[in-house]
């Protein structure tokens, strides 16, 4: 189904409006978004920026809003209605959570071919098959959030919608996948660090990134990329047994995925990670602003912070250099690896959570369970 034409003037105006929030909400597809989003959509995004919503949350909201608008145009020929009627929400679930076996015998099951083709031409669909339930739930949750920010009520909590999702998920069981197939535990980290053996700027930076990200509790890639010198404070050295005192540093996290930034969330670094960070800062001559930055072809250090995706790319590159399968690792593997390593070393869960800043005991303990169940007595009854 073809998209209805929008006036050039309206599209240009929306593009200019999106430019005004680009500093907070980087978007490579500005012109495409200006085509897809409505005036009200852009106003809602600007309002969220002014309210100080986190950058990553805004990116996710914008991405999902663009997808929802593209899907609505392809499936109904019209932009999203606000609030969305229950029937449209049920259509969204039916188009995205379907049974591949049933579709093989019933072509009307799941997303219609013309809608699928439309979304693929625009780059919104890439892989084949139904969506992951987590993706569908996230998009519905963001749809609900955007509806509320418009001062409207939606049918997102309706029993028919909840039942439709539950039955669709139950019909096609899936194995839950971690964000990183393998955790970056201590042994893996040692292999990655071994590839940072020279005094080159790139090796010094990557070594500091890996050590700081892991030792500070498995910080998220956005937190590492956005780290600024102003967040660091030097602490009194820590006494060590039979050796010189160890340098200590505090990282004031500010706003994170699970905090508002109003409380002063602090994690601490001690010893080698502090030394690695200090060497990078001194060699790169960084005395203010972003801690981790891009390095140019000729060894010039940029003034701008690394992009969060670059942290992921650095980890994958180091994994490949270490002879590991880079497809099995991602930046999130550092976060899961920290807790897994803590479990392997017998560090109590509450102590590890103080450093990782996990808010959910259930989520954090899942790494402990995975690490200890294989070697525990319950798995060795015979």
> In order along the chain (382 residues), what is the average pLDDT of each group of 10 residues?
54 62 53 69 73 70 87 92 92 89 84 91 83 88 88 88 84 56 87 95 96 90 90 90 88 64 74 95 94 89 87 94 91 86 80 74 62 54 56
The verdict on residue 369 lying in a domain is: yes
pLDDT of residue 360: 66
Domain that residue 264 falls in = 186-377
Same domain, 36 and 153: yes
Same domain, 299 and 224: yes
Same domain, 315 and 238: yes
The verdict on residue 289 lying in a domain is: yes
The verdict on residue 260 lying in a domain is: yes
Helices (H) and strands (E) in the chain, counts: 17, 5
pTM above 0.75, yes or no: no
CATH of the domain at 373: 1.10.443.10
Cα separation, 145 vs 161, whole angstroms: 16
Same domain, 19 and 139: yes
pLDDT of residue 194: 97
Q: Where among 148, 171, 194 does a domain terminate? A: 171
Same domain, 16 and 124: yes
Same domain, 75 and 200: no
The verdict on residue 178 lying in a domain is: no
The verdict on residue 2 lying in a domain is: no
The verdict on residue 302 lying in a domain is: yes
Same domain, 157 and 246: no
Same domain, 87 and 219: no
Per DSSP, 256 falls in state: B
Q: How many domains does the chain have?
A: 2
Going by C-alpha positions, the residue among 201, 331, 209, 195 that lies closest to residue 277 is 209
The verdict on residue 196 lying in a domain is: yes
pLDDT of residue 261: 47
pLDDT of residue 260: 45
Same domain, 159 and 213: no
Same domain, 29 and 166: yes
Same domain, 215 and 347: yes
C-alpha distances (whole Å) from 274 to each of 69, 109, 213, 267, 268 are: 47, 57, 11, 13, 10
Q: Where among 171, 203, 233 does a domain terminate? A: 171
Which two three-digit tokens encode residue 116?
Answer: 């699928």
Long-range contact set of residues 162-166: C-beta below 8 Å, sequence gap at least 24:
164/90, 164/93, 164/94, 165/93, 165/97, 165/133, 165/136, 165/137, 165/140
Q: Where among 171, 196, 224 does a domain terminate? A: 171
The verdict on residue 180 lying in a domain is: no
Cα separation, 184 vs 181, whole angstroms: 10
Same domain, 155 and 230: no
pLDDT of residue 277: 96
Going by C-alpha positions, the residue among 162, 169, 3 that lies closest to residue 89 is 162
């Amino acid at each position: 189904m073809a998209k209805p034409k929008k006036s050039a003037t309206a599209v240009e105006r929306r593009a200019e409006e999106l430019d005004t929030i680009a500093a907070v909400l980087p978007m490579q597809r500005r012109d495409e978004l200006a085509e897809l989003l409505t005036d009200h959509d852009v106003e809602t995004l600007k309002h969220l920026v002014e309210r100080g919503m986190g950058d990553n949350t805004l990116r996710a909201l914008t991405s999902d809003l663009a997808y929802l608008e593209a899907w609505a145009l392809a499936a109904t020929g019209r932009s999203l209605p606000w609030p969305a009627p229950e029937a449209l929400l049920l259509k969204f679930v039916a188009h995205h959570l379907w049974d591949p076996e049933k579709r093989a015998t019933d072509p009307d099951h799941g997303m219609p071919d013309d809608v699928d083709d439309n979304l693929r031409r625009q780059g919104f669909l890439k892989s084949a098959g139904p969506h992951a339930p987590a993706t569908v739930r996230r998009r519905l949750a963001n749809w609900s959030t955007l509806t509320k920010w418009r001062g409207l009520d939606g049918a997102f909590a309706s029993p028919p919608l909840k039942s439709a999702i539950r039955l669709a998920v139950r019909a096609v069981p899936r194995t839950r996948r971690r964000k990183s197939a393998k955790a970056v535990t201590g042994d893996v980290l040692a292999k990655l660090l071994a590839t940072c053996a020279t005094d080159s700027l790139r090796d010094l930076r990557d070594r500091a990134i890996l050590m700081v990200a892991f030792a500070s509790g498995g910080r998220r890639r956005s937190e590492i990329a956005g780290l600024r010198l102003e967040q660091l404070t030097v602490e009194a050295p820590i006494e060590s047994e039979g050796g010189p005192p160890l340098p200590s540093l505090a990282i004031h996290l500010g706003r994170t995925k699970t905090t508002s930034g109003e409380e002063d969330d602090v994690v601490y670094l001690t010893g080698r990670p502090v030394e690695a960070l200090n060497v990078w800062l001194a060699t790169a001559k960084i005395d203010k602003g972003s801690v981790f930055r891009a390095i140019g072809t000729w060894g010039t250090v940029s003034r701008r912070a690394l992009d969060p995706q670059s942290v992921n790319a650095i980890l994958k590159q180091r994994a490949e250099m270490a002879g590991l399968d880079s497809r099995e690792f991602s930046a999130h593997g550092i976060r899961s690896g920290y807790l897994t390593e803590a479990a392997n070393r017998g560090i109590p869960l509450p102590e590890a959570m103080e450093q990782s800043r996990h808010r959910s005991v259930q989520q954090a303990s899942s790494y402990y369970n995975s690490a200890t169940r294989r070697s525990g007595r319950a798995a060795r009854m015979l």
